[in-house]
Amino acid sequence: MKVRATDFLEFDKSAGVYRVSPEQAVRDDVEKHYWKHVGLTILKDWRLYLMLVPMLFVFICWRYLPMYELLSCFKVQDDVIPVAQQNFAGFSYFKRLLVGGDSLSTDFWRALRNTFILSFYGLCFGFPIPIILALFFNEIRSNAARSVFQVLTYLPKFMSTVVMTSLVTMLVKQGSSISGMGIINQALVGLGLITQETGNAGLLNNPAFFRAIYQISGIWETAGYDSIVFFAAIIAISPTSYEAAQIDGADKWAQMRYVVLPSILSTIVIMLINRIGSLLNIGYEKVLLLYKTETYVTADVVSTFAYRNQSAAGIGLASASEMMNNVIGMILVIGANTIARKATNTSLY
């Protein structure tokens, strides 16, 4: 925008000079007394601002203060002194974790790699399956039959993480002197996929199975429920779109490609950003409930690494590892959102 002198100046004919225009004088006045103006507005409308207080209180105390605590990753660790007065340690903790060369550093890299692998597998398998389920639901014309299928597939979603992991633990448990191995082990042994010894040792004690158990239980738990939003998008498609495609000779696959997919693309993008947003924020609760010392190789993620090492390695190192995890996560979500906005004009934030 071009700024012209007449926007804020006025020619005073009698004196023959330019003066500040009355409008600009008001604007100057508002600017000079901006905070007074803000204060008066808030005072006049105090009820509205009072309503914000509980929310601000909760978020500042238990969301933002921990973030401030997180800054101890840059400080020389000393439990006696509060974070604010600790000496600046620079990036020494980060350096220690990334290129420390000792077992802590190797463990951190392992945790970071596991975090990426678990969330990447979750994205590859966990994300498309609800979409496929929604397409299948759409094939069932009878409402009653569809409701039965839907209710059955939502069921696992209603369990808490503890109950779900307890059930999983029991189903794949090891055999002992007084009780046999879990039913899933038996089935796998019966199918010849694993040996009797592997089954008897318990699948959760075996690092080779942790990722599979984590992903399959995740899909089992959430796929049905996650399909709701895609199904809602699919049934919103007008039947005339399908008819038009059929007249043009589209078979089922062509209809999927040219009618269904474009119609639900924005939903897919929104859900994908959502998913990427929590990519590195993977459920530490579930990992903590399922992993064991034997399976750290494949199961240890950054959160659990930080949690386990906070007393031994110090809060500074633990915070530094979480800081890295969270910053990468934030970059991913903002990046995904920006790309989605540029590419498809759909964005979550």
Partner 1 sequence: MKRKLEVSELIFKIISYTLLTAFALACLYPFVYAVSAAISGRAPVEHNEIVLFPMEIQFSAFAEMFNDNMFWNAYSNTLFITLYGTLWAMFTAILGGYALSKKRLLFRKAFNFFLVFTMWFSAGIVPQYLNYIATRDIMEGIGITDNKWLVVIAMGMAAMNIILLRNAFEGVPSEVEEAAIVDGASELQVMTKVHIPMSQSTIATVALFFAISRWNGYFWARQMISNTNEQPLQVFIRLKLEQFTDTEQIAGWNKPYATDSAIYALIVCSIVPILVIYPFIQKYFAKGTNVGGVKE
Alpha-carbon 64 to chain mean position:
18
Taking a C-beta distance cutoff of 8 angstroms, is the pair 172, 203 a contact? yes
3-state secondary structure of 88: strand
In the complex, what is the shortest distance from the CB of residue 156 to partner 1, in angstroms, rounded to a whole number? 6
Q: Which is nearer to partner 1, 9 or 123 (CB)?
A: 123
Does position 33 bind partner 1 by CB under 8 A?
no
Beta strands in the chain (DSSP E): 9-12, 17-20
111, 112, 133, 268: which one binds partner 1 (CB under 8 A): 133
In the complex, what is the shortest distance from the CB of residue 270 to partner 1, in angstroms, rounded to a whole number? 7
15, 52, 80, 191: which one binds partner 1 (CB under 8 A): 52
Q: Which is nearer to partner 1, 105 or 138 (CB)?
A: 138
170, 212, 244, 297: which one binds partner 1 (CB under 8 A): 170
Alpha-carbon 312 to chain mean position:
29
Does position 315 bind partner 1 by CB under 8 A?
yes
Among 108, 150, 125, 281, which residue's Cα sits nearest to residue 213? 125
Q: Which is nearer to partner 1, 123 or 228 (CB)?
A: 228
5, 55, 84, 144: which one binds partner 1 (CB under 8 A): 55
Taking a C-beta distance cutoff of 8 angstroms, is the pair 93, 320 a contact? yes
Output the CA angle 320-324-326, nearest 5 degrees: 115
x/- binding map, residues 180-219, to partner 1, per CB under 8 A?
A: xx-x--x---------------------------------
Among 150, 161, 136, 149, which residue's Cα sits nearest to residue 225? 150
How many CB atoms are located within 10 Å of the residue 198 CB?
Answer: 18
Side-chain half-sphere CA neighbours of 19 within 13 A: 9
Does position 131 bind partner 1 by CB under 8 A?
no
Does position 144 bind partner 1 by CB under 8 A?
no
Q: In this chain, which stretch among 11-19, 94-102, 112-120, 136-144 interacts with partner 1, using CB under 8 A?
A: 136-144
21, 77, 200, 326: which one binds partner 1 (CB under 8 A): 326
